[in-house]
Amino acid sequence: MKALILVADGVEDLEFFYPYYRLLEEGVDVDVASPDGEEILGKHAYDFEPDLSFADVNADDYDLLVLPGGKGPEIVRLEPEAIAITKKMFEADKTLASICHGVQVLISADVIRGKRVTCWPALRDDAKAAGADYVDEEVVVDGNLITSRCPDDLPAFCREIFAAIRQPVGSSETT
């Protein structure tokens, strides 16, 4: 199992570090990518040295994509490589997990049309305009897409991530 997290300056620190360390704790191989592969500074001034740049990512190498929120997604969504990664992983039926403002990347990648999603409330109208069925719930799973609203939802968000990666999308097993 291999996960990819896309980040940029201004990422919500909790929404990045909480899933990052939980994935590592569970033995998942995690790569973190930023626009240029250079150090990023989170919204609350925590810094992190990514493993690679968006341009160096091969989406085929990953099973899970995590899109944390904060102000970082405003930068991530403007990077063509990040949008291509998101689309390719979505179309390959790999798990995409987005929290808070991470939905901005999903909107720019045009992957939420017809999907049931949640996100930070201020982005509700953006999600609806992108063709999503917005609901105000702590976590929403629709096929290979997992979405949450805010840092308070992180336990539910990670619970659904682990449920998804333990049972591949389309599996007939029940949990």
CA–CA gap between residue 172 and residue 46 (Å, rounded): 41
- Is 27 within 8 Å of 86 (Cβ atoms)? no
Which of 139, 103, 141 lies closest to 124, judged by CA? 103
Q: Which residues are catalytic?
A: 101
φ and ψ of 114, to 5 deg: 80, 5
Distance CA 170, CA 125 (A): 30
- Distance (Å, whole) CA 39 – CA 57: 16
Percent helix / strand / coil, the chain, rounded to 5: 40, 25, 35
The HSE-up count of residue 97 (CA atoms within 13 Å, CB side) is 30
What pairing do the DSSP bridges indicate for beta strands 139-142 and 145-148? antiparallel
